[in-house]
Structure 1
Amino acid sequence: MSSIATIIKDESLASTLRIGFFSLAACSVVGLAAYIGYRAAGPNQTYALHSRHPESNDQIEKVLESLRLDDEKLRQIMQLLEQEMDAGLSPATHKNADVKMFPTYVRNIADGTETGQVLALDLGGTNFRVLLVTLLPQSRVELTSKIFVIPQSIMLGAGVNLFRHLADCLLDFMKKENLVKPGVRYPLGFTFSFPCKQEGLASARLTSWTKGFTCSGVVNEDVVNMLQTAIDEKGLNVQCVALVNDTVGTLMACAYKDPNTAIGLILGTGTNACYMEKLDRVGTWDGDYNEPKQVIINMEWGAFGNNNRLNHIRTKYDEEVDLSSVNPSKQIFEKMISGMYMGEIVRLIILDLMQQDLLFIGQRDGYGDYRTPLFTRGGFYTKFVSTVETDEGIAFANTRRVLEDMGIRNPTFDDCAIIQHICKNVSKRAAKLAGACLAVLINRINKPNVTVGVDGSLYRYHPRFKRNMEKCMKNLVNKNIKFKLTLSDDGSGKGAALIAIVADRFQQSQLKSIPSFDDNDDEEVRTPIQSSLSNPISFNIQSPTNTLIRTLP
């Protein structure tokens, strides 16, 4: 009986296993069939590209076609920029030129051999930084910095109090770093991010306040002189030897590690560029012609096109952005490529497609209206452009998140694909324009190897901007020139310090070339020469610390 029971149990188990196996197989077949059906009906890559992707939609492509620039158009733009540059450099046409081409009086770049300690002040808003930069052999840099707040009462008060506040903070920093020592003087580079007319390497007059500052008694005054007066009142052994533009600082920060650096570029909220120019091309130069016969030019290229010379490539969206801005008909080139305006261009294109019922179909409410910030000026941030373009494949997770933040509930696959397509076209146009204008500078410099130092949030965070620039530039830069784009490292801080130390090194070399005078020399001859020279600056080298970057509390 026991053997019979065992057989029955075994047959029952086998039967159960057979049933389970066939059930599993059946489920697998059903699941596979369902998946195949989904793939056949759903938005796979091939289907998206050939049937539902916006590139196949003639109406959408007609809207975006106005953004596209081929190499022929880009070469025309390059010729126009070259003409504008020459106008800015000529004394006969400089006054009315849009691209101003200001000489910065910076004539030497760092070459990596600089050593010593130098201070920097970086003032660009309600906070400012004090930095100690220690330059070590083999192009090594140590930075110690502290951020200070500027109270609103000082921002709106007398200008003399602003500079006294800067000097107070500098003194506080130097005491904590044990830099207040008898007989030791420090050069200082001053990054002052407000509109100025530069009259020398260490001389610049403020033309207007921005960013919420209204300090009295500063406009049309020499800000370097005001800072130096405040520093001297504190009894500090510090001399401001250079006022720095952020593009020049970007160039200098890169040049310290790469001597082929000859261009600085800012691609962020705004845009600007500088480059090293030969003195014989600078008709507006009012300095000496001693070696080196070169000077860095601050282009202010954001104003390119103010004279309507870019109208042939501007779209109706560019025109609307300009008209609604705080400075209509100004900074035309900047409004086509910079971070402040890119998101707004995308928003206007989205609205245009919505009005043509090509986008967000079915998103209207019961009253036939859309409930979305897209109808608010500035409602689509440029950071959203970068976020959308990080999406790969067909999931569009980031794009969906952005659209849902915009009040678009459950956006369709088509909606997401179209939004990404718009963003790519707008950012690619910006990259091409920046790349073409950069190619003008590289070809003008005409050296075998040219490095471009670049900084700014747009360049730093957009996933494709650099790649699109380089792809465009390969067709426009002369074939005998190799170029490289390098992300700059703290141009407003380290760059300012490097400019200060290079300026001081050049100043000391000039001191050595001045003849000595004895007591029998004519006082009238001796005094003017000696009084025109600044006191030489000595450097205090300290042992390197363990950390390369240190921020004080």
Structure 2
Amino acid sequence: MHSSLGDMLPQTGAQESVAKEGSSQKKPPKKRSTKSKDRSQATVENLVRPFILKDEDYKRLMEIMLGEFNKGLGKETNPTAKVKMYPTYVRDVPDGTENGNFLALDLGGTNFRVLLINLNGQEVTMESKIYLIPQHIMTGTGEHLFDHIAECIYKFMNNHDLLNQKIPLGFTFSFPCKQMGLNHAVLTQWTKGFKCEGVEGEDVVRLLHEAIKRRGDIDVECLAVINDTVGALMSCAHSDRECAIGLILGTGTNACYIEKLENVELWDGDNNEPKQVMINTEWGALGDDGCLDFIKTEYDRQVDKHSINPGRQTYEKMISGMYMGEIVRLALEKLRKHGLLFNGKGSEELSTRGRFYTKYVSEIESDVDDHFKNTKQVFEELALEKYSDEDCRIAQYVCSLVSTRAAFLAAVGVATLLNKMERPDVSVAVDGSLYRFHPHFHDLMVEKIEQLIKPGLKFKLMLSHDGSGKGAAIVTAVANRLRESQSESIGENGLEN
């Protein structure tokens, strides 16, 4: 992290590089150049200083976050809580005894995946096939959608000679749902271009089972429906039993963690062992009641105002990939309008909302020397015609401030969960393009979490692989194991869904 623009300037001749355009004509006296340089540097820093939060801001944020988590977990406070803390009904991580074949479905966009996953102790083998969901089915009836899904399952099972087997299935359904049980999830609203009638307000697992029954030629039971945070956690937990937090840092951000049942006032399942459940925090909505206004910048307010959901997902909008590029663009445009970038001349691309992609932030920050190869490439893509090395440095500085703030804010969330859980050693499963591709995000998060967690607690961040496929199968395998052990102990199938 660069605390000042001066940190990014070369040590010798730090004042040499005002805009290069036109500098070959007449060089101003060095003294004057130094003063104007210092002035412009100070002005740049003033305009982006709101992104730099103090240590006490992060500590205050932790207190706020813990309060919001507890509100979401409380029976009386949950209805008005912005952070909903949904119980997922997933009770345990794998213990290594899970064996057999499991199907997984992954529906979250126009492509739909069916996976066959074989678990044999620590060994995992996977085969998968992607099926397209045509536009007319995305906007047709719910019955057509689930018939299409069942048809894809049939084709997949037929191709893998599985039609004569009964196979447990896990379903990653990446749309907003209210979880009513491990295999009961009610769709609250369609997103991502889907608009199938007759599905909102309905249990998606029931609709899937009805479609399978209508066919009558496959024997599949959905034991678990999950979201991507749980998938990330379970995928990592298969190889690391200390995994107890799942974190998504991609287009959006969300986290889940393992909570003691005694702290979950909304719990309506059984109280058998293990006395714990994974909680889907839905923490992106933190701040929707104004509790984060003390760290909001004018740039955040603009992003929110022009988003498709103004006033919602406040915390997410300061962190995730869907918004980071736009925050940087707004800051660069402000600097340009003040004559501090590109000699005041921009481009249509730079002034177009959403045109500065978050991948540009990662690319610009991946430059390691003063050739600025990536930064210049980004400028070319934005049709910026004249720029200096100084412009490249300023762009790097702005990107680093915005991404550092995002990483630190995400770290606050993780540290708050670690402190709340008080487990001596926790692995955090992380998935998402922002974490995967940004060159410094991991290191920045580790640095800040280490500052914020209680003494004696240990943690590590690990990249999760294919949570939506492998994770769904593992949740199903664990559910199957718990169901079988419970039916053995009580003499009948007594697993409470």
Normalised to the residue count of structure 1, the TM-score between the two structures is 0.82
**Identity over aligned residues, as a percent?**
50
> Retained in 1: the 8 A contact 2:9–2:393?
no
Distance 2:407 2:38 in 1: 20
Q: Does 1:187 align with 2:168?
A: yes
Instruction: Say whether residues 1:254 and 2:230 are aligned partners.
Output: no
Match of 1:433, SS state, is helix
Q: Secondary structure at the match of 2:342?
A: coil
Q: How far off its partner does 1:323 sit?
A: 0.6
Offset from partner CA, 1:402-422 (integer Å, 9 cap, x none): 012111124101100000000
Q: Could you tell me which of 399, 421, 424 is aligned with 2:400? A: 424
Q: Which residue of 1 aligns with 2:27?
A: none
CA displacement at 1:84 relative to structure 2: 0.2
Aligned residues: 470
Contact kept, 8 Å, 1:44 with 1:394, in 2: the verdict is no
Q: Report what 2:295 is aligned to.
A: 313
After TM superposition, give the deviation of residue 514 of structure 1 in Å: 2.2
For the 8 Å contact 2:270–2:496, the answer to whether it is kept is: no
Q: Distance in 1 between matches of 2:193 and 2:412?
A: 35
Unaligned runs of 5+ in 2: 1-7, 19-36
Does the aligned pair in 2 maintain the 1:277–1:294 contact within 8 Å? yes
CA offsets, 1:227-257, max 9 Å, x none?
0111223331211000011000000000000
Q: Which residue of 2 aligns with 1:66?
A: 50
Does 1:480 pair with 2:456? Answer: yes
Q: Is the Cα–Cα contact under 8 Å of residues 487 and 495 in structure 2 kept in the other structure?
A: yes
Q: Distance in 1 between matches of 2:172 and 2:388?
A: 48
1:337 aligns with 2:313: no
In the alignment, which residue of structure 1 is the partner of 2:143? 160
- Structure 1 residue matching 2:169: 3-state secondary structure: strand
Question: Aligned-pair distance for 1:118?
Answer: 0.3
C-alpha separation in 1, matches of 2:461 and 2:257: 14
Going from structure 1 to structure 2, the CA distance change for 1:238 and 1:395 (only over 3 Å counts) comes to same
Cα deviation digits, residues 198-247 of structure 1 (max 9, x gap): 10000011111111111111111111011011122333121100001100
SS in 2 for 1:335: helix
Match of 1:207 in 2: 188
CA deviations on 1:451-509 (whole Å, 9 max, x unpaired) are 00000000000011111111111111122111000000100000000001101111111
CA–CA distance in structure 2, aligned partners of residues 156 and 453 of structure 1? 34
Equivalent residue for 1:393? 369
Name 1:522's counterpart in structure 2.
Answer: none
**1:191 Cα offset (Å):** 0.6
Show structure 1 runs of 5+ residues with no match: 1-42, 365-369, 517-529, 536-553
In structure 2, what is the equivalent of residue 446 of structure 1? 422
Contact 2:342–2:386, Cα closer than 8 Å, also in 1: no
Q: What residue number does 1:147 align with?
A: 130
- Counterpart contact for 1:404–1:410, Cα < 8 Å: no
Runs of 4+ off more than 6 Å: 53-56, 532-535
Structure 1 residue 44 displacement after superposition: 8.4
Secondary structure class of the residue paired with 1:265: strand
AA of the residue aligned to 2:91: R
Structural RMSD (CA): 1.8
Structure 1 residues 72 and 512: alpha-carbon distance in aligned structure 2, compared to 1, 3 A threshold: same
> Counterparts of 1:423 and 1:503 in 2: how far apart (Å)?
44
1:176 to 132, 146, 159: 159
Relative distance call for 1:501 and 1:59 in structure 2 (3 A) is same
Moved more, 293-302 or 226-235: 226-235
Q: Does 1:511 align with 2:491?
A: no
Cα deviation, 1:10-33, whole Å, max 9, x if unaligned, reads: xxxxxxxxxxxxxxxxxxxxxxxx
**Structure 1 Cα separation of the partners of residues 276 and 54 of structure 2:** 34
Per the TM alignment, residue 52 of structure 1 is displaced from its structure 2 partner at its CA by: 5.1
**Residues 390 and 48 from structure 1, CA distance in 2 versus in 1: closer, same or farther, beyond 3 angstroms?**
farther
Aligned residue in 1 for 2:30: none
Describe the shift of the 1:355–1:449 C-alpha distance in structure 2 as closer, same or farther (beyond 3 A): same
Is the 8 Å Cα contact of residues 486 and 495 (structure 2) preserved in structure 1? no
**Equivalent in 486, 494, 510 of residue 470 of structure 2:** 494
**Contact persistence 1:277–1:296 (CA under 8 A):** yes
* Deviation for aligned residue 1:83: 0.2
TM-score by length of structure 2 reads 0.92
Residue aligned with 2:295, SS = coil
For residues 63-462 of structure 1, the aligned pairs below 5 Å read 63-137=47-121, 139-181=122-164, 184-234=165-215, 235-361=217-343, 364=345, 370-462=346-438
Secondary structure of the residue aligned to 1:257 is: coil
Deviating more after overlay: 441-450 vs 258-267? 441-450
